[in-house]
Amino acid sequence: MPVRNVAIEEERTDDGEVRLVIPLRAPRWAWPLSRLLYVPKTRRLVLDEIGSYVWSLCNGERSVREIIQALSQRYKLHRKEAEVSVVAYLRQLARRGLIGIAVRRTDATRDPQKR
Amino acid sequence: MKGQQEWSRLAWHGIAFDVPDDWCPGSVEGDYANGYLRVEDEASVRMELRWETPRRGAPSAPDLVDSYLKQTRRKLPRGAPEPRVDRGRAIQELAGLDHEAFTWRGGFHAHSVLLVAPGGARVVHARVFFEEGNEEKALARRIFGSLRVGPYDGLEEWSVFGLSFRTPQDWRLERSSLRTGCLQLVFQAGGDQLEVARQSLAEFTLRKSSLAQWLEGFFIKALRTYRLSSEPAEYRGHPAARCTGVQSLRARPLAALRRRRHATALAWHCPQADKLFALRCDSTAPDDPRVAACAATIVCH
């Protein structure tokens, strides 16, 4: 289940799109430099309408399959079309550290010795 | 098999059949003469289809099954148990066509049908895979019963990811692109070209441009050497745009020596399906009627 990175703040633009405010951590070597020059502490990333919708579904409660279903229903997409685009998009978000993937606890994962 | 299962049509290079709604193409290869299509559901490969054109007339379906079984047995690993094969079955709906249905239970389990198209033009082999203990005979029978190998009435059937249409049989698929949200199939007949496309998220797309602008932009690569004129139109009660043009002598000076080529394009927005459908034809005929003929076969909603 995709879950949003709690360190990231989100804002809504006038168009209803999501703007992510991503904190930046400057490397140690850049500290002295940051006293002299302006080094931004955050980076902003605006998601388009569809990206914003997928982002809103990444709440740690919906599985990837549920997100695919929701997207295909809302935008009248074929299941495979939605699947390919959602998986690629989530992979991109995960690679940038904007989301993580939570694994739902089952009896087997709770107590592996009982297997 | 689930009783209330929904079905959809899948057709590629004139070979058409019904599949459960949640099955869709996972891989396509080859051309009209020889090719391969793999169909998957959410979890696994459910079906494979191979077609080929025999070089010297097609043998009978039972002979082809003999040869297939011989080859498949040869590929079995040493010491593997002898596969169980039930042969000699016929599919009621394919009566009158040279075919044989059989079941293979070995390294994999599959219901198969081998069909020789009328006139022996193409041989089609369809396999529906199943897990041991869950044979899904009725499902396989329904798929095989719906199998049709074109052309029918001089038209070839195409249906993929819900985009269904027919083309005259002399049009051959030149290239295809089945990208997420955008399907494009380009056909060639002699020097003429026909392109059929469908784009999803129509409302989203049309927020940024008009339909006519989108149409010209969508086919910009193919239409850049034409002097175009676009006009809004209506098609099947949907908002549409029509675009016609003649090859520009400034862009292609040598075109003056030959018969001038014309471009005809049509696009419409189906709000029910939230899709944009577009067709383009490049030929020597102005306002080529084949665009309208092909568009009429597209099922938009």
Give how far the C-alpha of residue A46 lies from the chain's centroid of Cα atoms, to the nearest Å: 12
Which CATH number applies to B162-295: 1.10.238, 2.40.50, 3.40.50, 3.40.1000?
3.40.1000
Using CA atoms, how far residue B140 sits from B46, B61, B132, in Å, is: 10, 18, 14
First-residue to last-residue Cα distance in chain B: 27
- Which residues of A fall within a CB distance of 8 Å from B180? 81, 84-85, 88
Domains B7-149 and B162-295 fall in the same CATH topology = yes
Chain B closest-CA separation from residue A52 CA (Å) = 13
Q: Which CATH class is domain B7-149?
A: alpha beta
Tally A–B CB contacts below 8 A: 33
Q: Which residue of B has its CA nearest to A83?
A: B180
CA angle B125, B131, B132 (to 5 degrees): 115
Residue partners of B208: CB distance under 8 A and separation at least 6? none
The Cα–Cα gap between B122 and B30 comes to 13
Chain B closest-CA separation from residue A14 CA (Å) = 16
The answer to whether residue B24 neighbours chain A at the CB level (below 8 Å) is yes
CA neighbours within 13 Å on the CB side: how many for B81?
8
Contact check, Cβ <8 Å, B180/A84: yes
Which of A50, A65, A80 is closest, CB to CB, to B161?
Answer: A80
The mean pLDDT value for A17-37 works out to: 83
The answer to whether residue B204 neighbours chain A at the CB level (below 8 Å) is yes
The mean pLDDT value for A58-84 works out to: 91
Q: Is the pTM of this model over 0.90?
A: no
The mean pLDDT value for B154-159 works out to: 93
- Alpha helix segments (H runs only) across chain A: 31-36, 49-57, 64-74, 79-95, 107-110
Q: What ipTM, to 2 d.p.?
A: 0.72
* Mutation site, B200, B275, B301, interface A, largest A CB count within 10 A: B200
Report percent pLDDT > 70 for chain A.
91
Contact check, Cβ <8 Å, B24/A79: yes
Whole-number pLDDT of residue B279: 96
For residue range B85-114, what is the model confidence (pLDDT) as tens digits?
999 889 999 998 999 999 999 888 999 999
Residue partners of A51: CB distance under 8 A and separation at least 6? A17, A18, A89
Q: What ranges do the domains of chain B cover?
A: 7-149, 162-295
